[in-house]
């Protein structure tokens, strides 16, 4: 997903705004006490009708526009909220009120002149600054330099903000944009492809500079060659690709708060929108396979790694499934940032929460069969296995069935290191965690 589909039905300023401007001019630029008194008397109830959820601290009656031809009139009010944006409310005679934020009414007319409905109350003098509570609600760090209204739909308000440092966002708030409601901030880079929403206040190249502090936080020895925005997830995380002068490359995950959450080597980044494009991912994968070969061998699992897959990446370690070219069974390796790796053969990897997908078949059961033999159970060649659960001691129970169709076993394993402790035949294990469940064991035990 390169951009977020938020379904904008852009709302343009209604024609009454343009004609309302003349009404304002007739009354001059100053705010009279009478206008404030009338505004505070009439506007709060209208604000409630249009669902403006704030404490109104100031208001004014702007004026009335008369349409002699249609024999109708429309009244206009400005309200200032205790937090967030202020609004202009229009009330057609005999009709329902509607509201437009001061950011919308601040937009100049086609001739470049100010709209007659531009907000003038002191508390609404800087609608750009009034966006701070909405940005805080969205959870993004941004000191606003510029902002503009994009438009509104019946359910959402869309605004663009340009932040110090070059980054920019499209704010998606409710309609009206209440601070008490959900607010989402999507990076402007997600809208670079054009469409019904686009950013005009920020430069894409400048916005990509956000990658630089992320690389610094990653602690990688990388002189940046190029940068690329990849995607934004539904939870608001941004992904960027960076290529380095030495030929290496990374995908960086940026959290909603702007901080670095994860660094993924391009060799392991194929799951992120197809992987890296600024670097030679195939060459990186070949180099990485050689590294995993050395690390696995050093940990006691001799394996010429032909294929691998990233299972998960945790703080200072990554968990990788390994497929070998020189042996039929595979393994899962836990590779810390420094120090010796821990290797779990595919048969026993499920004991620690991982399942192999690159290497499947009976070869992965050999270690389980050998574990039974260590416990004196020499007649069973393991056919299937199932992790039952963890004991209060930290040991794990695994059920295994036998290829000869006879009853299998409930096996207890210790984990540090992984080693078999006890094996109870299924016919005697009916009281253990509900008994054996593998169909072959149920049949053999009945």
Please check the confidence at residue 28 and state whether its pLDDT lies above 60: no
Residues 6+ apart with CB under 8 A from 334: 317, 318, 319, 341, 342, 343, 344
* pLDDT value at residue 55: 95
What is the 3-state secondary structure of the chain? CCCCCCCCCCCCCCHHHHHHHHHHHHCCCCCCHHHHHHHHHHHHHHHHHCCCCCCEEEEEEEEEEEECCCCEEEEEEEEEECCCCCEEEEEECCCCCEEEEHHHHCCCCCCCCCCCCCCCCHHHCCCCHHHHHHHHHHCCCCCEEEEEEEEECCCEEEEEEEECCCCEEEEEEECCCCCCCCCEEEEHHHHCCCCCCCCCCCCHHHHHHHHHHHHHHHCCCCCEEEEEEEEECCCCCEEEEEEECCCCEEEEEECCCCCEEEEEEHHHCCCCCCCCCCCCHHHHHHHHHHHHHHHHHHCCCCCCEEEEEEEEEECCEEEEEEEECCCCCCEEEEEECCCCCEEEECCCHHHHCCCCCCCCCHHHHHHHHHHHHHCCCCCCCEEEEEEEEECCCCCEEEEEEECCCCCCEEEEEEECCEEEEEEEEHHHCCCCCCCCCCHHHHHHHC
Which residues are registered as beta bridge partners of 148?
160
Tens of pLDDT, residue by residue over 130-168, are 999 999 999 988 999 999 999 888 899 999 999 998 889
As a whole number, the mean pLDDT across the chain is 88
Provide φ and ψ at 336, rounded to 5°. -75, 165
* pLDDT value at residue 193: 63
* pLDDT value at residue 12: 34
Higher pLDDT, 4 or 86: 86
Tens of pLDDT, residue by residue over 219-252, are 889 999 999 999 999 888 999 999 999 888 999 9
Average pLDDT score over residue span 84-99: 94
Tens of pLDDT, residue by residue over 306-331, are 999 889 877 688 899 999 999 999 99
* pLDDT value at residue 192: 73
Tens of pLDDT, residue by residue over 263-298, are 998 888 888 888 899 988 877 888 889 999 999 999
- Cα–Cα distance, 40 to 18 (Å, whole number): 24
Contact (CB, 8 A) for 343 and 323: no
- Cα–Cα distance, 310 to 187 (Å, whole number): 28
343, 349, 348, 350: which is closest to 372 by C-alpha? 348
Which residues are registered as beta bridge partners of 305?
324
pLDDT tier at 194 (50, 70, 90 boundaries)?
low
Please check the confidence at residue 19 and state whether its pLDDT lies above 50: no
Provide φ and ψ at 401, rounded to 5°. -110, 165
- Cα–Cα distance, 420 to 413 (Å, whole number): 4
Q: How do strand 382-390 and strand 342-345 relate by DSSP bridges?
A: unpaired
Tens of pLDDT, residue by residue over 377-400, are 999 999 999 999 999 999 999 999
Provide φ and ψ at 76, rounded to 5°. -130, 140
* pLDDT value at residue 24: 41
* pLDDT value at residue 267: 86
Please check the confidence at residue 8 and state whether its pLDDT lies above 70: no
Specify the length of the chain in residues.
Answer: 446
* pLDDT value at residue 25: 41
Please check the confidence at residue 444 and state whether its pLDDT lies above 60: yes
Give pTM, 2 decimals. 0.66
Tens of pLDDT, residue by residue over 33-70, are 999 999 999 999 999 999 999 999 999 999 998 877 76
pLDDT tier at 172 (50, 70, 90 boundaries)?
very high
CA distances from 122 to 25, 31, 47, 58, 119 (A): 19, 10, 19, 9, 9
Which residues are registered as beta bridge partners of 132?
none
Instruction: Give me the half-sphere count of Cα atoms (radius 13 Å) on the Cβ side of residue 166.
Output: 12
Please check the confidence at residue 23 and state whether its pLDDT lies above 50: no
- Cα–Cα distance, 329 to 341 (Å, whole number): 18
Residue 435, Ramachandran bin (φ over 0: left; ψ between -120 and 50: alpha; else beta): left
Higher pLDDT, 15 or 424: 424
């Amino acid at each position: 997903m390169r951009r977020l589909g938020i379904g904008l039905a852009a709302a343009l300023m209604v024609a009454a705004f343009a004609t309302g401007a003349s009404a304002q001019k007739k009354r001059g630029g100053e705010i009279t006490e009478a206008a404030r008194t009338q505004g505070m008397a009439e506007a709060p109830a209208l604000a409630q009708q249009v669902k403006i959820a704030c404490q109104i601290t100031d208001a004014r009656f702007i004026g009335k526009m008369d349409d002699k031809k249609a024999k109708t009139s429309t009244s206009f009010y400005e309200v200032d909220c205790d937090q967030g944006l202020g609004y202009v409310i229009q009330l057609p005679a005999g009709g329902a009120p509607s509201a437009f934020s001061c950011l919308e009414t601040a937009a100049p007319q086609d001739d470049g002149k100010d709209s007659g409905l531009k907000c003038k109350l002191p508390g609404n003098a800087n609608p750009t600054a009034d966006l701070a509570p909405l940005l805080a609600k969205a959870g993004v760090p941004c000191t606003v330099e510029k902002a503009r209204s994009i438009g509104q739909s019946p359910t959402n308000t869309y605004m663009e903000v340009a932040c110090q440092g070059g980054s920019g966002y499209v704010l998606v708030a409710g309609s009206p944009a209440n601070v008490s409601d959900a607010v989402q901030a999507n990076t402007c880079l997600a809208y670079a492809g054009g469409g019904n929403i686009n950013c005009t206040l920020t430069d894409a190249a400048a916005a990509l500079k956000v990658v630089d502090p992320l690389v610094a936080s990653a602690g990688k020895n990388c002189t940046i060659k190029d940068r690329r925005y990849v995607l934004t997830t539904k939870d608001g995380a941004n992904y960027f690709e960076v290529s380095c002068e030495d030929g290496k490359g990374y995908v960086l995950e940026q959290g909603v708060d702007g901080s670095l959450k994860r660094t993924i080597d391009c060799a392991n980044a194929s799951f992120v929108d197809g992987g890296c494009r600024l670097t030679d991912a195939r060459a990186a994968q070949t180099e990485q396979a050689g590294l995993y070969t050395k690390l696995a061998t050093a940990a006691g699992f001799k394996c010429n790694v032909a294929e691998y897959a990233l299972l998960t990446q945790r703080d200072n370690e990554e968990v990788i499934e390994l497929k070998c070219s020189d042996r039929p069974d595979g393994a899962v390796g836990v590779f810390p940032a420094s120090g010796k790796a821990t290797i779990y053969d595919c048969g026993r990897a499920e004991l620690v929460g991982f399942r192999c997908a690159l290497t499947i078949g009976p070869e992965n059961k050999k270690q389980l069969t050998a574990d039974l033999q260590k416990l004196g159970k020499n007649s069973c060649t393991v056919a299937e296995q199932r992790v039952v659960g963890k004991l209060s001691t930290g040991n794990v129970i695994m059920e295994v069935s036998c290829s000869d169709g006879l009853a299998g076993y409930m096996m207890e394993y210790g984990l540090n290191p992984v080693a078999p402790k006890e094996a109870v035949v299924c016919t005697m294990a009916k009281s253990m965690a509900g008994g054996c469940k593998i169909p072959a064991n149920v049949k053999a035990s009945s």
